[in-house]
Amino acid sequence: MQNVVILQARKWFSRSLSSFSSNPLKVCVVGSGPAGFYTAEKMLKAHQQAQVDIIDRLPTPFGLVRSGVAPDHPETKIVINQFSRVAQHEQCSFLGNVTLGSSISLSELRKLYHVVVLAYGAESDRSLGIPGESLKGIYSAREFVWWYNGHPDGRNLDPDLKNTDAAVILGQGNVALDVARILLRPTAELATTDIANYALAALEESSIRKVYLVGRRGPAQAACTAKELREILGIRNVDISIQEVDLRLTPADEEELKSNRIKRRVHELLSKAAAKPRTAGLNQRELHFVFFRKPDSFQESEDRTGHVSGVHFEKTVLKGDGPGKQIAIGTGEFEDIKCGLVLKSIGYKSVPVDGLPFDHKKGIVPNFRGRVLSDTSGDPTLLEEGLYVCGWLKRGPTGIVATNLHCAEETVLSISEDIEKGMLISSAALPKPGREGLLQLLQDRDVRIVSFSDWEKIDSEEKRLGSSRNKPRQKLSTWDELHKAALE
Ligand SMILES: Cc1cc2nc3c(=O)[nH]c(=O)nc-3n(C[C@H](O)[C@H](O)[C@H](O)COP(=O)(O)OP(=O)(O)OC[C@H]3O[C@@H](n4cnc5c(N)ncnc54)[C@H](O)[C@@H]3O)c2cc1C
């Protein structure tokens, strides 16, 4: 009996492989961030006959490497060269300006391709759900980052940096530190980066002198890395303020630090900064690390109706034991911080598209090693045939660019195993229209595709504009400008 099963499986396997050799594997990757590009690269290596199309809703590729990574971190963006080589591979295509969910639906895409890999990231925000959250002057870090990075959907944010001297940032992870650094760094140092020109102009006129980085828990739990912390602590002309009492470690903290080298280093850096004498008003700007505070509500300005004027915080203490297990509990004692700008850096959130199983609690697509599962029960046999996931949409919004390389390796390995096991047999038996079908459908819908060579026109124009200002590029940041440069 067992032999019969093995024989059948072998037949399926060879039928599947031979179908794919006469009928090349058609793969569509949705999203051209690190997860999308690493997936495409690994697919092209593992399946030399495969045709891989990468679609993105923007006319520009590279996801958060372009619109998330801070402008003063150019070394992180070098990976764009590697991604460009993937896009230029003869069996790969980049199709920008194509949105899953409006230009094309998931079910249409699945009919066109043998394999669809969703890598469209996390383009929404977690919310606090506290009173006053919709007041003007309160933004998510994602919106603010898009604004200074020239994302076309961030162009109109226009945060008011002039009518206040204080900003509160909620959260103490690396994104929070990026945002604080951009607010505090001398603008002359930003002027030679690829920061959006309107953002540089607004920062040059900014009145913000005090930035508060606020966390619910203590310095032993701060979510940033030592590299980012060292960088912000080293900004010129900024006084650092940390309450020494907050740095005292409980036995539970000691335990936590023992098992985590990065957190130990972060605590050391904060302790050193706290011990440094302040410059008694000589510096123009202040950075306050505020620990053990959770936002309770936002306050409305009396003279500027509808605008935020401060955050009402509840003090907290930590309860619970074990690394990562200590949680912040309100003490019933409150304190306000006055400010005219609030940036919430409490986490990005992915959004589902029609027909996609989604775990709303975790904010990810339920998956087993990158294979999309039909529901959130965790049963690895309930598979959505031919549908895979990678990157922030698969794991949640954590990790650096390189984390997505390992994530893509896992997803591509699952695809290869499924092909070998004959699990894509029903698709393999059918030739799929792939790119041709997609192009036809998009043409019927009047969707103006931006190809990789169109993107190269945007790229050259941005570099040309930047060269006269001693910048690596001056980003085009409206949909019109981008379309004009790409398609005219
Ligand atoms: C502010 C910030 C700063 C960071 N700085 C660093 C850093 O300095 N160093 C580092 O290593 N890592 C950094 N990271 C982390 C890194 O950027 C992420 O790990 C990585 O970009 C996640 O990759 P992804 O491909 O899953 O998502 P993304 O990079 O977000 O890519 C998703 C892509 O999908 C597209 N898309 C979205 N919706 C659709 C749709 N419906 N249809 C078609 N396309 C769609 C988007 O346009 C985007 O191009 C930073 C992250 C942030 C948020």
Q: pLDDT-derived band of residue 8, with 50, 70 and 90 as boundaries?
A: very low
Percent of the chain topping pLDDT 90: 87
Q: Does the structure show a pLDDT above 70 at 13?
A: no
> In the numeric block, which tokens belong to residue 412?
């591509």
Contacts of 417 (CB under 8 A, 6+ apart): none
Find out whether 183 is annotated in a ligand binding site. no
pLDDT tens, position by position, 89-119: 999 999 999 999 999 999 999 999 999 999 9
> Per the CATH hierarchy, to which homologous superfamily does domain 2-123+350-450 belong?
NAD(P)-binding Rossmann-like Domain (3.40.50.720)
Find out whether 30 is annotated in a ligand binding site. no
> In the numeric block, which tokens belong to residue 208?
């913000």
What 8-state DSSP symbol labels residue 450?
B
Find out whether 146 is annotated in a ligand binding site. no
Find out whether 49 is annotated in a ligand binding site. no
Q: Is 300 exposed, middle or buried (0-12, 13-18, 19+ CB in 10 A)?
A: middle
- The per-residue pLDDT of the chain, averaged, comes to 93
132-135, long-range: CB within 8 Å, 24+ apart, which pairs?
Answer: 132/297, 132/298, 132/299, 132/300, 132/308, 133/298, 135/298, 135/300, 135/306, 135/307, 135/308
Q: Tell which one of 37, 54, 67, 69 to mutate to probe ligand 1, the residue whose CB is within 8 A of the most ligand atoms.
A: 69
Q: Does the structure show a pLDDT above 80 at 230?
A: yes
- Beta-bridged to residue 389, according to DSSP, are 118
Q: Tell which one of 39, 117, 401 to mutate to probe ligand 1, the residue whose CB is within 8 A of the most ligand atoms.
A: 401
Q: Tell which one of 120, 183, 394, 452 to mutate to probe ligand 1, the residue whose CB is within 8 A of the most ligand atoms.
A: 120
pLDDT tens, position by position, 294-315: 999 999 999 999 999 999 999 9
Q: Does the structure show a pLDDT above 50 at 4?
A: no
Instruction: Find the helix or strand (DSSP H, E) in which 286 lies.
Output: strand 285-290
| Contact residues of ligand 1, CB 6 A cut-off | 30-36, 55-58, 63-64, 68-69, 73, 76, 99-101, 119-121, 123, 145, 175, 178, 391-392, 399-401, 403-404
Closest C-alpha to 265, from 220, 233, 232: 220
Ligand 1 mean position to 31 CA, how many Å? 9
Ligand 1 mean position to 383 CA, how many Å? 26
Query: Nearest 5 degrees, angle CA 161-CA 162-CA 163?
Result: 105
Q: Does the structure show a pLDDT above 80 at 3?
A: no
Find out whether 282 is annotated in a ligand binding site. no
Ligand 1 mean position to 81 CA, how many Å? 16
Query: Nearest 5 degrees, angle CA 380-CA 384-CA 386?
Result: 115
Q: pLDDT-derived band of residue 23, with 50, 70 and 90 as boundaries?
A: confident
Q: Where are the domains of the chain?
A: 2-123+350-450, 125-348
Q: Does the structure show a pLDDT above 50 at 1?
A: no
Third-level CATH fold of 125-348? FAD/NAD(P)-binding domain (3.50.50)
